[in-house]
Structure 1
Amino acid sequence: MKAEQPHPLNKRLGLKTLLIKSLSLFSSVRLYNVIIVAIAQFLAAIFIMAPELSVSSILSDYKLWLIIIASSAAIAGGYIINNFYDREKDLINRPQKTLLENRVRRSTLWSVYFVVNGLAFILGSVVSWRAGLFFAAYIFAMWFYSHKLKRVLLLGNLMSALLAVLPFFVLFMYYKNFYPVIFVHGGFLFLILGMRELVKDLENLRGDLVQNYRTIPVVLGEKQSKQFYTLLTFLTIVPIAALITYFEIGYMQYYFTLIVGSLLVCLPLIWSSRRKREYLLIHFILKIIIGAGVFSILLIDLPDIISRLQTIFN
């Protein structure tokens, strides 16, 4: 007897279910953000962390690739655990996206969580015991932030911004690079991420109130949150001015000039915003600033990149 063939409709339904669950998993791990951080680490290694090394030597360094893969895995795990603890709040703040992410069973997410964190620790340990220790501490810090610190006034915002910067610290450890320009770049990124976290808190005010999150908007109110955002804006101009004035950053100075204009444009927007969709616009602008900042690293040594491309194609 011939084996019974599955009905075409059942096959289509099965493929649709698989696609939805895949999208749910990718949404849970914030795949877009993970890829952006990986690209940023790679470009930072070439143009900021180890500019004295040739591109070919960096590309052939397998330990760098292990660090980037380990960082991506640990960050993905961080998003999973953060979603787990924020599930009830997210159902209020972003119900459609949360319902999509809920299509994957919790047991599956826990399995993925332990697999990616285990991978991060193992790959880090292959690089060095210090890198392994760093990733173990980083994984614990993300769990502790999601479980406890996220609900603590101000400390939650600071910790979130710090956790977003730390994947670049492991590169700093690896290359043993103590150039001041790295700290200034890190300060700029930390402040921008702090502004983004504050805007996210303003977006999510309703859910944070219901779930008793002690965020700045919940405890201090929208007006003082906007005052704090204004302070962060002007503080961010300080590292920008230092990078343009005192360091060789090539054509990246034009990126920072545009950023100052964008941040100043956001100030009247934040003060006039009252509804979630208005805060979403500012959040989107800040995401564009961060994303553009990743690729603007190429502008640090643009003439050399152009000459290399001409050599390749000629």
Structure 2
Amino acid sequence: MKTKSNFKTFLVKALSLFSSVRLYNVTIVAIAQLLAAIFIIAPELTVKTILLDYRLWLIIIASSAAIAGGYIINNFYDREKDLINRPQKTLLENKVSRSTLWSVYFTVNGIAFVLGSIVSWRAGLFFAFYIFAMWLYSHKLKRILFAGNLMAALLAVTPFFVLFMYYKNFYPVILVHGGFLFLILGMRELVKDLENLRGDLAQNYRTIPVVLGEKVSKQFYTFLTLLTIIPIAVLIQFFDIGFMKYYFALIAGALLVCLPLIWSSRRKREYLLIHFILKMIIAVGVFSILLIDLPVILERLKTLI
């Protein structure tokens, strides 16, 4: 009986820890890094060469560890706010003591720095700055008007810059892809602020909805939506992105459909729906990288056999 109780306690704490580090988000970024390295950033290399490069795997693991640490420190500073905005999820995450979370935080950040340093001193320095930037965002910047949204979107795309450093490749198409992703992430952060308005207001976070109101926030969202059409049009019109053009055409339609939805939204669950749609756009976009040149990709994958 005691063994069963101990196992249940262990299982709850494990689920709490996985919730704290946002395992789903970490996994999506890791997959995106791998696919970007194979099909966008280093297309001149064979799939086998890239997959057998242990330094690439060190970069991906280091990025995952640093991102997990970022979620932990963010949860630590947002605990009181999250008790208001998402009480059930926060109560689950509170099953792990703060001392344990601090231990995990320093451990994963240490892993990120050490693995990055093994790749190169530049990669080690990159992860050191990235870890510091995530702490600064969680501790200070996210409470500052506009700075929080901007920094959150930048931190989300930053793990891909270490791949540019490693492969020393930077194509214009990558810049446009990055601009599209940055705008989508900015929209997601704005929607998160709208759904977390009660907690942000109670804890004196100076977000756009708190300071400028919901109407202005929706105007900003509309502006970002229209701005996102620009990189979509540029990618479809001026770059050879193969079947991925259908993904971008579909996304343009989805974003325009979301506009009347956000203007009619008044309750948290309605904002959660839009947040979910934006998360799906990002997740599907990761795997749509495979559509850039599907016949060539299938041919390249044969090199693994």
Which blocks of at least 5 consecutive residues in structure 2 are unaligned?
none
Q: Secondary structure, in 3 states, of the residue corresponding to 2:293?
A: helix
After TM superposition, give the deviation of residue 309 of structure 1 in Å.
5.9
Q: Secondary structure, in 3 states, of the residue corresponding to 2:292?
A: helix
Q: Is the 8 A contact 2:262 2:271 kept in 1?
A: yes
**1:25-40 superposed matches below 5 A:** 25-40=17-32
Q: Is the 8 A contact 2:48 2:304 kept in 1?
A: no
Instruction: Decide which of 278, 281, 300 is 2:292's aligned counterpart.
Output: 300
Query: What letter corresponds to residue 191 of structure 2 in structure 1?
Result: V
Q: Which residue of 2 aligns with 1:83?
A: 75
**1:226-241 superposed matches below 5 A:** 226-241=218-233
Q: Is the 8 A contact 2:47 2:301 kept in 1?
A: no
Instruction: Decide which of 196, 199, 224 is 1:207's aligned counterpart.
Output: 199
After TM superposition, give the deviation of residue 76 of structure 1 in Å.
0.2
TM-score (norm 1): 0.95
**Matched residues in 2 for 1:14 and 1:160: separation?**
38
Query: What letter corresponds to residue 289 of structure 1 in structure 2?
Result: I
Q: Which residue of 1 aligns with 2:58?
A: 66
Deviations along 1:201-241, whole A, 9 cap, x unmatched?
00000000000000000000000000000000011111111
**Matched residues in 2 for 1:309 and 1:228: separation?**
43
Q: Which residue of 1 aligns with 2:262?
A: 270
Query: What letter corresponds to residue 278 of structure 2 in structure 1?
Result: L
Residue 250 of structure 2 corresponds to residue 287 of structure 1: no
After TM superposition, give the deviation of residue 52 of structure 1 in Å.
1.2
Instruction: Decide which of 224, 244, 247 is 1:255's aligned counterpart.
Output: 247
Q: Secondary structure, in 3 states, of the residue corresponding to 1:70?
A: helix
**1:44-63 superposed matches below 5 A:** 44-63=36-55
After TM superposition, give the deviation of residue 311 of structure 1 in Å.
8.1
CA gap of 1:56–1:233, structure 2 versus 1, over 3 A, is same
Q: Secondary structure, in 3 states, of the residue corresponding to 2:240?
A: coil
**Matched residues in 1 for 2:26 and 2:304: separation?**
30
**Matched residues in 1 for 2:54 and 2:179: separation?**
29
Deviations along 1:50-83, whole A, 9 cap, x unmatched?
1111111101111110000000000000000000
**Matched residues in 1 for 2:55 and 2:292: separation?**
24
After TM superposition, give the deviation of residue 312 of structure 1 in Å.
7.4
Q: Which residue of 1 aligns with 2:174?
A: 182
After TM superposition, give the deviation of residue 12 of structure 1 in Å.
1.2
> Which has the larger displacement, 50-59 or 133-142?
50-59
Q: Secondary structure, in 3 states, of the residue corresponding to 2:257?
A: helix
Query: What letter corresponds to residue 24 of structure 1 in structure 2?
Result: S
**Matched residues in 1 for 2:262 and 2:33: separation?**
31
Instruction: Decide which of 135, 149, 164 is 1:143's aligned counterpart.
Output: 135
| Structure 1 vs Structure 2 CA RMSD | 1.1
How many percent of aligned residue pairs carry the same amino acid? 82
Which blocks of at least 5 consecutive residues in structure 1 are unaligned?
1-8
Deviations along 1:140-182, whole A, 9 cap, x unmatched?
0000000000000001000000000000011011111121111
TM-score (norm 2): 0.98
**Matched residues in 2 for 1:137 and 1:126: separation?**
16
**Matched residues in 2 for 1:296 and 1:33: separation?**
17
CA gap of 1:128–1:309, structure 2 versus 1, over 3 A, is closer
Residue 147 of structure 2 corresponds to residue 155 of structure 1: yes
